[in-house]
Amino acid sequence: MTLNESKTFSLDFAKLRDVDSCISELKKLHTQLEEERSVAQKKERMMTNSLQESKQMSNHLQQITHALTRERKQASEKTERERLLWRLIERINSTFDLDHILQATVDELGHYFKVNRCGIIIPNYKKNKDLVREFAMGEWSRTQDVYSQVTLSVLYRTVIKTMQPLIINDTLTHELTSGHLSEDLRSLLMVPLVRGNNELVGVVYLHQCRTQRTWGEHETSMLQSAAGAIATAVEKSKLFNRARSWASREKLLNRLTSRIRGTLNINVILERTVVELGQALMASRCFISIIDPKTSREKISHEYTAKNATPLGVKKEFPLIINKLIEKNVDCVAITDIYKEPRLAKLNNKEIEQIYQTNARSFLAVPISFQTKLFGWLCFHQCNVPRNWSEEEIAFIQSAASQVGVAINQAEMVEELTEYQTKLSRELKQAANLQSVLLSAGSDTKKNLPIAVSYHPHHNVSGDFYWICELAPHVVGILIGDVSGKGPAAALLTGYIIGEIKGLLENQDTAWHPEKFLTALGDSIYEQNQYSDFYATAWYGIFNILENKIICSNAGHPSPYLMDGQSISKLLDDPGAPLGLLSTKDVGAYVDKEFKLKTGDRVMIFTDGLTEQRQLEGNFLPESWLSDALKNHDKYELKDLPEEIIRKLNIASKAAPQDDDRLVVAIEMPEKNIIEFYDDKQDYLNERVQQIIDDAVSKGLPSAFISNVKLGLIEALYNSFRHGLTKENREKKQPVSIVWWVKDSTFSCAIKDPGPGFDWQDALRKKSKMTDVDILSEGGRGVPLLMEIFNKVNWNPEGNEVGLVLKW
């Protein structure tokens, strides 16, 4: 109830009977009034409170409305900013091309802020060059030359120093610009671009020209937000460029490494290396300075020079300047600017002058070494401008230098190896010559036994060997062998074996008995060979033309083939153990095997190079190929047969590379002149001797030798008659046989008697020349006479076969 409101109280006058009753009634009324007043006051208070509350509410509502308006504005600004930032970020994410990002960003910001110019500066972005992009409206556009100079301005320096936004609302009145700016720039807002680690990467600026503009807080904040995004883009781009550069350097390093591993031509490697490193690092020069170990001077071995630099010149020598510049515990010399380099103080004037003459402003030298050996330096020059060699670049160059060190070391090793190989090859050639000389004594195939040989060593020096020895004109020993392994070691053992062979062939006891020969040879090799694992296989056969037979023994060697017309068979010669592996005391002696041959029969002896040959696909040829190849042997003359077999081997192996030495020896039992004597009748003897002499004369025996040959034949035949034509043998019709040949200015013959032989060794010991014979002796002149007449007189060990040779 308000104070203006009225209320009626009723007074019952009937009760006003007296004063007391009046007073009582009035008191009652007063009480009522008081109560009413109290209620009214309370109401009034409540009203007042309510009014105040309403006022407060109104104020509050007003505040809320203001706040909402502000918030709406802020939200609108925020959305706008977010939209702008989103566009910037989207662009940043869409490409790594910083140029494009920056150009688009300045365009975007220029339009957004409605300014005359907007620009971004990234100092030292690439190879010490600033990256500057500027947006400008119409008349306010400037050439790149002009806006690229922004970094020189005091405004730029202020921002990068304070790392705070520079807000200039009016350049005419601002302390930094007042009276300094010549251009029509009135308002400027410049914000630093700061990376996450608080590192400055550049600035972004807005220019308002001619008309003044007051930059709002929102605008500053907006540009700062954009600056953050731009800084991220720059960082991202730098990282990308670094990654790309790292990848390209890795690629270059891999190329360098693979080239070093792929070729041994050090000049090609180093030449390409300096070019590629020089180009990759955009250096003015890249060169290798090799230290001459003799003179201790540096000499340029390979050099790359960029177009804007002059070459120092390959082979140009320098004193060891780098050694003076290098500091302890630092393994390279990196000089950003020679003009400001304190270390140059360590050099003398001449050396400094020398450095200046190179026109290099910046210098990097990384050691080229392998293990502890220093070969020289991999050097880079940046001419005219200073260059700060980054850790990354130095690490890369060190990796490259390490590869160059490997290459040089490799080349030195190759050089040493080549030298060694040349020496070895020379020695091998000498060894081959020596081996050839050693073997030549046993390689003469001109015997009464037709022999053909084909020898294809796998190496200069060979492990295969053969030896042909005429024990008598009608008896030819053929030894063929193969030392395990190839090359010089095998050749050395071959040399030793040849020495042994010579000795054994001089000994009648071994020369004429194959099993004794191989046993003695095996024991000798075993004795010399106990501490190595070399061994040899050998086959030794004695071909007797007069008796048409072979006696042979085999020490682990492939058995020869016998070709009897179309019948091809292996000689069952019972091969024993190879020579030198075991003592014959342990494995037992070898055995002699005798095979009868017919005139025209051929025997082919060979080494395992013929049977253990791989085909082109890698499989070994089947063993049967050789017997198959021999089937048509009679189509070829004996002299052509071994080469024909080798030719067939090449066809069968599909021209696969030779696996081993190849040696083939083929013989053929010849037709021969033979006369048999069943008694010693002189007339028959005279006739037959005359027959032989006539034949010999018809084949070239000079008449001057006729009487000697006649005397020799008669002496030898009478000797055989005396020992062989015993009564028993005459009865058994066992003859004395004689065969003879005349070829190559040589008369040779062999006489065999059926007797037990005689002790010719004793006879020779006593009387080998006529002067040994007592002039008064009535006998004992036969043997010395034979020795005087003939060039060679050989008996078999038993003394019942003799061979006589006369040359003219």
Partner 1 sequence: MKLDVHDENDRLFIKIGGQLLYSEADHFKEEILPKIGQHSLVTVDCQDLEFIDSAGTGAIVRLWKECRMVGAELELIKVVPEVQKLLHLTRLHQLAKVRGLDDAA
Residues contacting residue 369 through CB under 8 Å, at least 6 positions apart = 375, 401, 402, 405
Find the binder of partner 1 among 648, 788, 792, 797 (CB under 8 A): 788
Q: Which stretch binds partner 1 (CB under 8 A): 310-318, 338-346, 477-485, 705-713?
A: 705-713
Nearer to partner 1, 101 or 751 (CB): 751
Q: Which stretch binds partner 1 (CB under 8 A): 46-54, 335-343, 633-641, 782-790?
A: 782-790
Q: Which stretch binds partner 1 (CB under 8 A): 158-166, 370-378, 628-636, 714-722?
A: 714-722
What is the Cα–Cα distance from 35 to 9, expressed in whole angstroms? 12
Residues 42-61 that bind partner 1 (CB under 8 A): none
469 - beta bridge partners?
A: 477
Find the binder of partner 1 among 238, 782, 792, 797 (CB under 8 A): 782
Q: Which residue has the tokens 């922004």?
A: 150
What is the Cα–Cα distance from 690 to 694, expressed in whole angstroms? 6
Using only the alpha carbons of the chain, give its radius of gyration. 59
722, HSE (Cβ side, Cα atoms, 13 Å): 9
Nearer to partner 1, 1 or 773 (CB): 773
Q: Tokens standing for 168?
A: 């200039």
Find the binder of partner 1 among 714, 734, 768, 797 (CB under 8 A): 714
Residues 106-125 that bind partner 1 (CB under 8 A): none
Q: How far is the CB of 780 from partner 1 (least distance, A)?
A: 8
Q: Which residue has the tokens 């990308």?
A: 240
Q: Which stretch binds partner 1 (CB under 8 A): 511-519, 594-602, 650-658, 781-789?
A: 781-789
Q: Helices 266-280 and 391-440: crossing angle, nearest 10°?
A: 170
Q: How far is the CB of 778 from partner 1 (least distance, A)?
A: 4
Q: How far is the CB of 512 from partner 1 (least distance, A)?
A: 27
Nearer to partner 1, 19 or 775 (CB): 775
Q: Tokens standing for 558?
A: 């492939």
Q: How far is the CB of 685 from partner 1 (least distance, A)?
A: 8
Encode 512-538: b = buried (16+ Cβ within 10 Å), e = exposed. Answer: bbbbbbbbbbbbbbbeebeeeebbbbb
Nearer to partner 1, 686 or 691 (CB): 686
Q: Which stretch binds partner 1 (CB under 8 A): 54-62, 512-520, 562-570, 716-724?
A: 716-724
321, HSE (Cβ side, Cα atoms, 13 Å): 22
Find the binder of partner 1 among 523, 672, 773, 792 (CB under 8 A): 773
Residue 722 found at the interface with partner 1 (CB under 8 A): yes
DSSP 144-173: HHHHGGGGGSHHHHHHHHH-S-EEES-TTT
SS (H, E, C) 507-522: CHHHHCCHHHHHHHHH
Q: How far is the CB of 762 from partner 1 (least distance, A)?
A: 18
Find the binder of partner 1 among 707, 745, 761, 791 (CB under 8 A): 707
Residues contacting residue 256 through CB under 8 Å, at least 6 positions apart = 269, 273, 276, 400, 403, 404
Residues 733-772 that bind partner 1 (CB under 8 A): 770
SS (H, E, C) 181-211: CCCCEEEEEEEEEECCCCCEEEEEEEEEECC
What is the Cα–Cα distance from 574 to 590, expressed in whole angstroms? 9
Q: How far is the CB of 572 from partner 1 (least distance, A)?
A: 45
Q: Tokens standing for 653?
A: 């192996």
Residue 710 found at the interface with partner 1 (CB under 8 A): yes
Find the binder of partner 1 among 234, 785, 787, 806 (CB under 8 A): 785
Find the binder of partner 1 among 196, 293, 618, 779 (CB under 8 A): 779
Nearer to partner 1, 26 or 706 (CB): 706
Residue 776 found at the interface with partner 1 (CB under 8 A): yes
Encode 392-412: b = buried (16+ Cβ within 10 Å), e = exposed. Answer: ebeebbebbbbbbbbbbbbbe
Residue 152 found at the interface with partner 1 (CB under 8 A): no
Burial of 724 (0-12, 13-18, 19+ CB in 10 A): buried
Nearest to 758 by CA among 748, 766, 749: 766
- The region, left, alpha or beta by phi > 0 then psi within -120 to 50, assigned to residue 124 is left
Residue 21 found at the interface with partner 1 (CB under 8 A): no
Build a one-symbol-per-residue string for 674-693: x at contacts with partner 1 by CB under 8 A, - elsewhere.
------x-x--xx-------
Contact between 553 and 573 (Cβ < 8 Å): yes
**Judged by CB under 8 A, how many residues of this single chain contact partner 1?**
23
Q: How far is the CB of 798 from partner 1 (least distance, A)?
A: 22
Residue 174 found at the interface with partner 1 (CB under 8 A): no
Residues 273-292 that bind partner 1 (CB under 8 A): none
Q: How far is the CB of 774 from partner 1 (least distance, A)?
A: 9
Nearer to partner 1, 107 or 680 (CB): 680
Nearer to partner 1, 663 or 725 (CB): 725
Q: Tokens standing for 627?
A: 């017997």
Find the binder of partner 1 among 393, 464, 592, 715 (CB under 8 A): 715
What is the Cα–Cα distance from 466 to 732, expressed in whole angstroms? 41
Q: Which residue has the tokens 């009016």?
A: 170
Contact between 501 and 555 (Cβ < 8 Å): no
Nearer to partner 1, 189 or 689 (CB): 689
Nearer to partner 1, 533 or 683 (CB): 683
Nearer to partner 1, 2 or 682 (CB): 682
Interface residue list for partner 1 (CB under 8 A): 680, 682, 685-686, 707, 710-711, 714-715, 718, 721-722, 770, 773, 775-779, 781-782, 785, 788
